[in-house]
Amino acid sequence: MAKRPAKAQSKSVTIHDQKLQRGEGGELHQLAQDGAKVLTTSQGAPVADDQNTLRVGARGPALIDDFHFREKIFHFDHERIPERVVHARGYGAHGFFETYESLSAYTRADVFQRAGEKTPVFVRFSTVAGSKGSFDLARDVRGFAVKIYTKEGNWDLVGNNIPVFFIQDAIKFPDVVHSVKPEPDRAFPQAQSAHDTFWDFISLTPESMHMIMWIMSDRAIPRSFRFMEGFGVHTFRFVNAKDESTFVKFHWKPKLGLQSVAWNEAVKINGADPDYHRRDLWQSIQTGNFPEWELCVQLFDQDFADNYDFDVLDATKIIPEEILPVKPVGRLVLDRMPDNFFAETEQVAFMTQNVPPGIDFSNDPLLQGRNFSYLDTQLKRLGSPNFTHLPINAPKCPFHHFQQDGHMAMRNPVGRVNYQPNSFDPAPRESPVAGYRHFPSEEQGAKVRLRSESFADHYSQARQFFISQTPPEQRHIAAALTFELSKVETRVIRERMVSHLMNIDETLATTVAEKLGFQSMPTPADAAVPPRQDLEPSPALSIIKRGPNRFEGRKLGILVTDGVNAALLKSLGSAIAKEKAVFEVIAPKVGGVTASDGSWVEADHMIDGGPSVLFDAVALLTSEEAMDDLVREATARDFVADAFQHCKFIGYDKSALPLLEKAGIADSFDEGIVALPGEKDVALFVKELGKLRIWGREPSVKSGKASPPAK
């Protein structure tokens, strides 16, 4: 592994040089001319640098006397009431964390001391950009916030389903969120990034390019909370009983593997069931199919950090698992829904600064800003400094302090003493042995607003992510960028974005430019650091390469009619159950149908309310006598055509052939269209479902070579 040049560890660049390196110099220079408006604080003080927080040296900790950052983040945190400014649409569940083995060599955190010990948790999943009333399957980051009620206080691991972020410094957080929210003069679009202000900001912020590759990938439209990863994003520290530090990055790995949906599918799901992710989590827990993840860690020392090709304090970078493998250290199981959504999911308050002894922070400037910001957020949202009195936020271990009174206080110190130090017993006192101790890192440097030069490579890992994807996943990224930028009305913004793509992958840039109707390709954006071409693909970054190869936890939709073969339906249901999957029945009428043996089959959906986008695969178990009516149903034809378009497996009995023909796919059969004449074929069909999708079908569907639907 090449050692990072010494100058990258110590040399800093001026803010003027940084803007030029990021390709911002030309436009921003114009803003600084005489007569232009000068950015100020709310008190009118001119702002010299709105890009970086005040810190000790280029890579040191943030300083509390940064009044500009304090004012900016303070006002941002108080913009909304009562819903969250970001992560407003969320859904949560209770469960437990079980430790695999003692990690006492690395950390004194009590939760990691005893193998097999279970600790209660609450998890909240969310989208970032939309309001509480938005839909579940927006293209967006997903919040993955875990509150672990340890014996030494609450630990909030407040992460996302993407391991990097848009920005490197928290002072830019209000800007990135403002840009992606509905445009203030028109209050739309809702829960969408496909508009001018977002892409204007992004195109002027090259550090966002790695995150953009993730957001435009299928990671941003997960099939379920149960099928997505979670990440702590930042570099943290483990600190053991000897006050020795080990850097750590946290990963949540879903037991059922990764899975996402197609964009066209997501659009239709949002119309058919905007609560799709909520319903999925609810149903899985209510039926005893408890979602499960493994907590894995990447552990490394200061020597690794000093020699790694990228700065571990940069939240726009990762350490690929092929370079530093993840170590499983425990499992998370969700097994109980809240008794009341508002009391728990809506009022839960997560804060990155909530850590027990043995877990500490790095100088990541984005993490430092989050630690500073979150307390303001919870005060504004929940209306009182006593939000920890709410049961969902209260520790489950003994706690003692002298905080008292305030709005909605539900408990106060008991007795005579409410101060420290005091000479009365048995009043609580600090404990140098058991208490929280920060790692005594040594910091030095001038008080400056600078960003380390080691943060300046904005394209290399973005390129690595793209080349790590399979061809279908790369096509999806190109299609997502094309769709998003097609909604941008300002041509220069589209051109700026394509100029950045030129530094990531020329073929990707050309594909997007051609789809957008460019007459010529723009010059690649100026890069502060030339994009590296030598980074190897990381298979761990691909969803398809890490597919589960099993149908466990998924859902089969079975379209039935009167006269359905009872034995075949029963056989298919049994085979699905053996795979630890579930099925739902769709019928012409919501009540159900009469099977071939005279038995009644209850339906979960009528065709109009149960489109194939709600399922991971479909089966067509019909009858010849019912087919004439069924082929005249537009929703029945759509049921089949959408399943085919979205590359899903389709099982059918021979009576369904006319429906396949009307859906326009009778002449386009592939290995994903499986006949079900008998029970033996059912077993083979269900076994194949573990592949989840037939992505090889996609190019023919996109090109229109598949037969068009019959009229």
Active site residues: 87, 160
Q: Number of C-alpha atoms within 13 angstroms, CB side, residue 651?
A: 29
Closest by Cα among 554, 553, 558, 551 to 639: 558
Asked if residue 164 lies in contact with residue 111, where contact means CB atoms within 8 angstroms, the answer is no
For residues 438 and 360, is the Cβ–Cβ distance under 8 A?
Answer: yes
Closest CA to 63 of 368, 359, 361, 362: 368
Nearest-angstrom CA–CA distance, 186 and 533? 43
Tokens of residue 552, six digits: 């466990």
Strands 592-594, 600-602: pairing is: antiparallel
C-beta separation of 507 from 471 below 8 A: no
Instruction: Report in angstroms the alpha-carbon separations of 373 from 71, 72, 367, 601, 641.
Output: 11, 10, 10, 55, 49
CA dihedral 557, 563, 567, 572 (to 10 degrees): -10
> Strand runs (DSSP E) across 637-693, as ranges?
650-652, 673-675
Question: What is the distance in angstroms between the CA of the first residue and the CA of the last residue of the chain?
Answer: 61
Crossing angle for the helix pair 491-504 and 506-515, to the nearest 10 degrees? 150
CA distance 169 to 314: 9
Backbone angles phi, psi at 483, to 5 degrees: -60, -50
Do residues 334 and 282 touch, judged by C-beta distance below 8 A? no
Residues 413 and 680: their CA atoms lie apart, in Å, by 70
375 within 8 A of 353, measured Cβ to Cβ: yes
Q: Which amino acid is at 587?
A: A
Q: Which amino acid is at 153?
A: G
Specify whether the CB–CB gap between 483 and 215 falls below 8 A. Answer: no
CB 128 within 8 A of CB 88: no
Tokens of 611: 């489109």
DSSP classification of residue 81: S
> Residues near 53 by Cβ (< 8 Å), separated by ≥ 6?
62, 63, 66, 69, 169, 170, 171, 365, 368, 369, 449
d(CA 337, CA 190) in angstroms, rounded, equals 28
Q: Angle between the 365-382 and 67-77 helix axes, to the nearest 10 degrees? A: 40
Report the relative pairing of strands 600-602 and 359-361 from DSSP bridges.
Answer: unpaired
Residue 288, classified by CB atoms within 10 Å of its CB into exposed (0-12), middle (13-18) or buried (19+), is: exposed
Structure tokens of 285?
């827990």
CA distances from 36 to 30, 31, 332, 676, 694 (A): 8, 6, 54, 72, 56
